[in-house]
Chain A
Amino acid sequence: MDWQALTLSLGLAFWTVLILLPLSVLAGRWLAYGRFRGKALVEALVMLPLVLPPTVLGYYLLVGFGRNARLGELWQGLFGHPLAFSFEGLVLASVLFNLPFAIQPAQRGFEAIPVSLREAAACSGLSPWYALWKVDLPLAWPGIVTAMVLTFAHTLGEFGIVLMVGGSIPGQTKTIAIAIYDRVQAFDTDGAGVMAATLVAISFLTIAATYWLSSRAGRRLL
């Protein structure tokens, strides 16, 4: 059992969720309520990582993270080490490929709030930000919880992109999914089996917890 890889995967999932939580609330609300030109285009862009092979997204990220690209150059200048094959690079890649999993359910959550309720909030004197806190979020939270659960579980299991932009540096970018692959390559089926079972258990527990929460809330989250 590669505990280091498991810890790294959990850490990656944690940071991804932490970054995507506010992002999904803001972007989800914007896409749910906004009426603007090019909305379909933005929605399509958000969904793109869902249909692209991870290797394609990974390839572009790797190019973008490189020292010859502006982002990679900027990162190198600021932090003194390359973005590619680093944990930070992995988090950034993870945030990008989880965009559809985070934003879409949040958007659906906000869309489920009747327009008249938002108007009632404004008529009751609530500023837009206060209404978000007092009315929108309490009503949209099933969608947001769904988004975060999917993001968490999906990050634990992602393989292709991690391999492309992270490689397999122990303690840096070697996630549990990569570790399983490593073990299989080394004909250590027992080691791979233990880790695979652990991943199944964690993913199952996460999803089950969501269902338990949603049954308590009387609403479906997934």
Chain B
Amino acid sequence: MTLEVSIQARAPIPLAVDFSVGKDELLALVGPSGAGKTTVLRVIAGLHLPDEGRVSVGRAAWLDRATGLALPTHRRRIGMVFQSYALFPHLTAAENLMLAMDRPDPAKARQLLDLVHLQGFADRKPSQLSGGQQQRVAVARALAREPAVLLLDEPFSAVDRAQREGLQAELLTLRDRLAMPVVLVTHDLNEAQLLSDRMLVLDHGHMVRIGTTAEVMADPVALRSLGVREAAALLPARITGEVQDGLTRLETATGPIYLAGVTGPAGSMVRVRIMAHEVILSRARPTGLSAQNILPAVITSLQEGDGPAVMVHLAIGPDAVLARITRRSVAELGLAPGQTVHVILKSMAVARDHIAAGTGLSA
């Protein structure tokens, strides 16, 4: 079932959005704080009533201001994960889940807790769980309702970085089992890029851009709202068994790269988030360079913005990478579409949490 959302509002913040999310699809709502991301989520949940708008899932309408329809929150089949988790503090983990079920079923609660790797924690109260464990209970409780739509409001922002990686990886594996539209609100573009199929960029309540994650993360208009330093591409690579000096050898379409902090079985695929401003381009294959990662690539297009920088779109085999370099460099190197260049990347320029398992979501 497809979630369709259309909202127009003037107060408390102006909003004008119109989008749909298919089943099996994860849409990330991104944008600066105060852009209205959470408000959009609250409209879907029925926690906020906009001046005008329509929300429907499949053939069922939840909100239609034109006809005066506004289903109360408890009658909408939503699974909501709050930023603060909002677990019921007087109930155990299992009881939190059962309260959200139409027919409380301890066996089903146990299954769901197993699913989020919380075996043996069923009888703990939220205060007896760590932040990461509470987050898992919150996800399991959202699923316990058997929702038609899953809504995630900054679900990873309250856990530390080390835990976040693990939880994000779990959400990715969980997604394969969920056949429902998922809307993720986040201010973390790395998280959005690693988890989402499509992205919606909001700024001051209006839609700057909606599109596939790769499109949006390379789009200069979208990046103006997000901060151009966030431009990045996801490069698929296969983990080889080779590890030397703490660096793991990964195989991309056009050659090996060596990165630190890669975990995963040999032979499995990962996606490496490569920031456009970290990429160096060279016409000839450089020698005598400290950078370990040199990949042949073909320039597909050059995109000029308002500033001194140019966004270079590159193809590494079938995969796309972005490089953000100065207009001056483009002129000096005489770069043009169709040329073969060498992409140079410092191993240390890839942060640990910019490497995610999987081959991509919608693919």
Q: Which residue numbers of A lie inside 8 Å of B, CB to CB?
A: 114, 116-117, 119-128, 131, 134-135, 138-139
Contacts and interface: CB of A to CB of B under 8 A. Distances in A.
Nearest to B88: A135
Given A125-B100, A134-B99, A139-B90, A120 B82 contact: yes
B72 interface: yes
A119 B73 contact: yes
Contacts of A128: 74
B141 A116 contact: no
Nearest to A130: B74
Given A135-B88, A138-B90, A139-B89, A122 B72 contact: yes
Contacts of B65: none
Given A116-B84, A117-B86, A123 B45 contact: yes
A127 B78 CA distance: 14
Q: Which of A116, A122, A125, A139 gathers most chain B CB within 10 Å?
A: A125
B99 A124 contact: yes
Contact of B80 (A114, A120, A134): A120
B86 A119 contact: yes
| Interface pairs A-B: 8 shortest CB-CB | A120-B86, A124-B100, A122-B73, A123-B80, A116-B86, A138-B90, A122-B74, A125-B74
B80 to A, nearest CB: 4
Given A122-B47, A139-B89, A116 B99 contact: no
Contacts, number: 59
B277 interface: no
B145 interface: yes
B332 interface: no
A215 to B, nearest CB: 17
Contacts of A119: 45, 47, 73, 80, 82, 86
A134 B78 CA distance: 19
Interface in B90-120: 90, 99-100, 102
